[in-house]
Amino acid sequence: MDRLTAMQTFVRVVESGSFSAVAREAKTTQSAVSKQVAALERELGARLLSRTTRSLALTEEGERYFEQARRLVAEIAEAENSLRQGAQQLTGWLRVAASVGFGRLKLLPLVKSFLAAHPGVKIDLRLNDGFVDLVEQGIDVAVRIGELSDSSLVARRIGSSKRVVVASRDYLRSLPKGMKAHRVPEDLLQMNCIVYTELATQNAWSFTAGAGAPVDEGSVVTVRAQGNIQTNSSEVIRAAVLSGMGIGFSPTWLFEEELARGDLQVLLPDWPAPPIPVHLISPSQRRPSAKVKAFADHLVAATR
């Protein structure tokens, strides 16, 4: 059995969802494709696919093997293409992960320009505000906003994200007269704070006194924000702030257009918050491919 050919066949069967589709691609019979996958299973001593007359599904062992096999097949294809077409020609899939808000508002335009520059590349963009296991989900590179706690990752800092406290003008107008002052961070505790739970700091909001603050410049104040809603979704934070449910402590890019139009007000302008680092991360077990390096360079150049 040709192990690599069988592995490639298995990967294509899973991606296409059928033996017949792969048979048509390879100009062979469905039986021949099925025999290749069966031979691979015998060689591995594990059942990879659960087959019925109407459906095809990965077993638990198959799910684990598929992600590793797909990466290996992709890396081999990329190496072969580099030899045939020159090292500058990038081809194949690049699996990128990011948070939902950042992916929609900031990353997607950069993906568009990257694909225009590298027409041979295809991007599988996975957006999720929760924890993403890069190895388990077969992610090549991810954008991580915030301090990194996992030292096993290969990280490259591509910039930082400025944060501000924002509120809709409708929300501020709805506050009782005595709550309208917001000169020091403690004033925020009178308001309904919408807390984002995916950062390690969660409801600890820290600020540094600027020149216009009523305390010594450089003083650091941290408050524990309180409110009736918290969420792991940046998109929910955005919607809640815009609908007047409370105040948010968020990256400026999440409300870029609304801030430019004056729809939202920045509170505590004399109290800047420490910027959040933005990194590109990859699994340490895998050597960064040419596509990952090119994608990282593209993002760095765009964020300068």
Q: Give the CATH number of the domain where residue 179 resides.
A: 3.40.190.290
We report the CATH number of the domain holding residue 18 as 1.10.10.10
Cβ(250)–Cβ(201) below 8 Å: no
**What is the SS3 assignment for 70-102?**
HHHHHHHHHHHHHHHHCCCCCCEEEEEEECHHH
Are both 119 and 266 inside the same structural domain?
no
> pLDDT truncated to tens, each residue of the chain (304 aa)?
688 888 888 888 888 788 888 888 888 898 888 888 888 888 888 888 887 766 788 888 888 888 888 878 877 776 666 555 544 568 888 999 999 999 999 999 999 999 999 998 999 999 988 878 887 778 889 998 888 776 667 888 888 889 999 999 999 999 887 666 678 899 999 999 999 998 888 899 999 999 888 888 889 999 999 999 999 999 999 999 999 999 999 999 999 999 999 999 999 999 999 888 999 998 876 566 788 889 999 998 877 6
258 vs 280: CA distance, rounded Å = 27
Cβ(171)–Cβ(245) below 8 Å: yes
Are both 142 and 288 inside the same structural domain?
yes
Are both 176 and 154 inside the same structural domain?
no
Give the domain-ending residue among 58, 83, 108: 83
256 DSSP β-pair partners: none
132 vs 100: CA distance, rounded Å = 12
Are both 270 and 167 inside the same structural domain?
yes
- Report the pLDDT value the prediction gives residue 86, as an integer from 0 to 100: 47
Are both 169 and 100 inside the same structural domain?
no
Are both 26 and 170 inside the same structural domain?
no
* Token pair belonging to 179: 């709550």
We report the CATH number of the domain holding residue 115 as 3.40.190.10
Are both 172 and 142 inside the same structural domain?
no
Supply the range of the domain harboring residue 243: 163-274
What's the number of domains the chain is made of? 3
Cβ(281)–Cβ(134) below 8 Å: yes
Give the domain-ending residue among 83, 100, 122: 83
- Report the pLDDT value the prediction gives residue 258, as an integer from 0 to 100: 94
Residues 6+ apart with CB under 8 A from 56: 13, 17, 18, 19, 49, 50
Are both 122 and 23 inside the same structural domain?
no
128 vs 95: CA distance, rounded Å = 13
- Report the pLDDT value the prediction gives residue 5, as an integer from 0 to 100: 85
Give the domain-ending residue among 27, 56, 83: 83
Cβ(193)–Cβ(294) below 8 Å: no
280 vs 234: CA distance, rounded Å = 19
Question: Within its chain, how far is the Cα of 83 from the centroid?
Answer: 31
Are both 152 and 190 inside the same structural domain?
no
19 vs 9: CA distance, rounded Å = 9
End-to-end CA distance of the chain: 51
CA proximity to 204, closest of 256, 163, 243, 245 = 163
Are both 141 and 229 inside the same structural domain?
no
- Report the pLDDT value the prediction gives residue 271, as an integer from 0 to 100: 94
pTM for this predicted structure: 0.67
Are both 125 and 45 inside the same structural domain?
no
Are both 297 and 148 inside the same structural domain?
yes
